[in-house]
């Protein structure tokens, strides 16, 4: 008999794989599915970006193993991008490496910064990968509740004890926040960095939604804050910004030892991102059309957001108005707390797939997440299905 290792049997099922499986089952039972469950952009990257990739794919010499640290052209482009978009201008090539998207980078950073028995602070609710991977190497989770009461941006000293802050080794930070969309101001994030420095914490910042925001200014890169270069590593991803979740490319930037630790783990595990993709992304970041595309993409999400919020308000549902990211975080009506049962009942009755709040952490219970990666016609249908379900229940 084949027996898998305990670290695998202990792993919780991956939320988004479960959501996909539930949708597949409902579809095979004859339901017409409307999917607002997963944050996977429905749009393609624009044609000019795909043409750049095609040119790079055709280039002779770009098909061998990539450099472990990343293609120098992409690393240089990433440094310029950080300066241009976020005012981060004190970095050099020692501060940056390519990743196979943020998920891979976050997963491989965990063993570089945490020993078994160390504790780490992770937001709850959050993208599940932070805590799952850190737990898997035997580190202990201290969960930081992000709730409507603390506006998803808690004062660390209010929510955590001095002992928890002093004994933890790492804190994960993700703003714009998945799932609430919270995008706090500079003063709040500076307090997080200051508190991390006082307590000798490594800050792992996940800026996967750097280019999707609803105000005038982009989100804050933690790397732009005072003292950040002493303790921060930040993950940037092209997945959501450029509608290319399938390309698997991003970069990490920050303290050179943290970047070196990550690269050292990666060197033993993967062999980097296809050079054609890395060079294509270097060209995209430097292209005069880049900012125009990012701005158009934001406008599309802003229109979808309005569409959803208008109906949620009509239905009397409580939601958090997002400052960024591609989600709407809503409270389940009628004070129902069991989000998984509620999501299943909704799916079975209507074919509408949403993300149950519990999947993002204990403090997500009682809430659900709608993803805006859905075309207008499907959003309208989803809102109608939600309204029908609420009328009947």
* Positions that interact with ligand PLP (CB under 6 A): 39, 101-103, 127, 174, 178, 206, 208, 237, 239, 245, 250
Give the residue among 366, 271, 393, 372 at the shortest CA–CA distance from 41: 372
Q: What angle do CA 252, 256, 257 make, to 5 degrees?
A: 105
**Are 235 and 208 within 8 A, CB to CB?**
yes
- Looking at beta carbons only, is 144 or 385 nearer to ligand PLP? 144
Distance of closest approach, residue 61 Cβ to ligand PLP, in angstroms: 27
Q: CB of residue 60 vs ligand PLP: minimum separation in angstroms?
A: 29
Identify which of residues 103 and 255 has a Cβ nearer to ligand PLP in the complex.
Answer: 103
Nearer to ligand PLP, 22 or 208 (CB): 208
Give the nearer residue to ligand PLP in terms of CB position, either 19 or 343.
19
> Which CA distances in Å does 181 have to 158, 165, 214, 323, 362?
22, 25, 10, 6, 18
Residue 186 in tokens: 């500079």
Q: Tell me the closest approach of the beta carbon of residue 172 to ligand PLP, in angstroms.
A: 10
Report, in Å, the least distance between residue 364 CB and ligand PLP: 13
Enclosing H/E stretch for 123? strand 119-124
* CA-wise closest residue to 347 among 13, 126, 18, 12: 18
Q: Judged by CB, which is closer to ligand PLP: 99, or 199?
A: 99
Terminal Cα distance for the chain, rounded: 47
In the complex with ligand PLP, the residue whose CB is nearer, 122 or 160, is: 122
**In whole angstroms, how close is the CB of 393 to ligand PLP at the nearest point?**
29
Considering beta carbons, is residue 103 or 304 the nearer one to ligand PLP? 103
Q: How far is the CB of 240 from ligand PLP (least distance, A)?
A: 7
CA gap 135, 153 in Å, rounded = 23
Q: Kindly give the interhelix angle for 102-113 and 256-267, rounded to the nearest 10 degrees.
A: 100
Spatial neighbors of 381 by CB under 8 A, at least 6 apart, are 34
For the CB of residue 107, give the shortest distance to ligand PLP in the complex, in Å. Answer: 9
- When the beta carbons of 273 and 379 are compared against ligand PLP, the nearer one is 273
Query: Residue 238's closest CA among 299, 297, 186?
Result: 297
Nearest to 334 by CA among 279, 387, 393: 393
Could you tell me which residues come within 8 angstroms of residue 323 by beta carbon, excluding any fewer than 6 positions away?
176, 181, 182, 183, 184, 213, 214, 215, 219
CB 250 within 8 A of CB 78: no
Residue 174 vs 374, nearer CB to ligand PLP? 174
Q: How far is the CB of 171 from ligand PLP (least distance, A)?
A: 15
CB of 245 to ligand PLP, least distance (A): 5
């Amino acid at each position: 008999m084949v027996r898998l290792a305990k670290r695998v049997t202990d792993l919780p099922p991956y939320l988004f794989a479960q959501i996909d499986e539930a949708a597949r089952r409902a579809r095979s039972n004859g339901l017409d599915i409307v999917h607002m469950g997963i944050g996977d952009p429905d749009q393609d990257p624009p044609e000019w970006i795909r043409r750049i990739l095609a040119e790079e794919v055709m280039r002779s010499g770009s098909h061998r193993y990539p450099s472990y640290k990343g293609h120098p052209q992409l690393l240089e482009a990433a440094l310029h991008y950080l300066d241009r978009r976020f005012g981060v201008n004190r970095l050099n090539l020692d501060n940056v490496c390519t990743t196979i998207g943020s998920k891979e980078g976050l997963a491989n950073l965990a063993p570089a910064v945490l020993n078994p028995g160390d504790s780490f602070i992770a937001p709850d609710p959050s993208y599940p990968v932070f805590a799952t991977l850190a737990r898997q190497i035997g580190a202990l989770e201290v969960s930081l509740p992000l709730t409507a009461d603390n506006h998803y941006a808690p004062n660390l000293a209010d929510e955590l004890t001095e002992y928890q802050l002093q004994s933890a080794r790492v804190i994960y930070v993700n703003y714009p926040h998945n799932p609430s969309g919270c995008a706090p101001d500079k003063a709040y994030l500076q307090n997080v960095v200051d508190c991390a420095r006082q307590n000798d914490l490594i800050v792992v910042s996940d800026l996967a939604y750097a280019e999707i925001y609803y105000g005038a200014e982009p989100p804050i890169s933690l790397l732009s804050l005072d003292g950040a270069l002493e303790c921060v590593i930040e993950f940037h991803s092209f997945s959501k910004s450029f509608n290319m979740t399938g390309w698997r490319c991003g970069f990490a930037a920050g303290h050179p030892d943290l970047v070196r630790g990550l690269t050292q783990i990666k060197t033993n595990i993967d062999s980097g991102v296809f050079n054609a993709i890395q060079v294509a992304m270097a060209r995209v970041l430097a292209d005069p059309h880049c900012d125009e595309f990012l701005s158009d993409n934001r406008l599309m999400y802003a229109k979808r957001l309005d569409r959803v919020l208008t109906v949620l308000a009509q239905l009397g549902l409580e939601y958090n108005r997002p400052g960024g990211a591609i989600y709407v975080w809503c409270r389940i009506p009628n004070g129902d707390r069991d989000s998984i049962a509620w999501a299943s009942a909704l799916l079975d009755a209507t074919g509408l797939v949403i993300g149950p709040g519990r999947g993002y952490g204990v403090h997500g219970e009682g809430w659900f997440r709608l993803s805006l990666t859905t075309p207008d016609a499907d959003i309208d249908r989803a809102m109608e299905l939600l309204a029908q379900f609420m009328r009947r229940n």
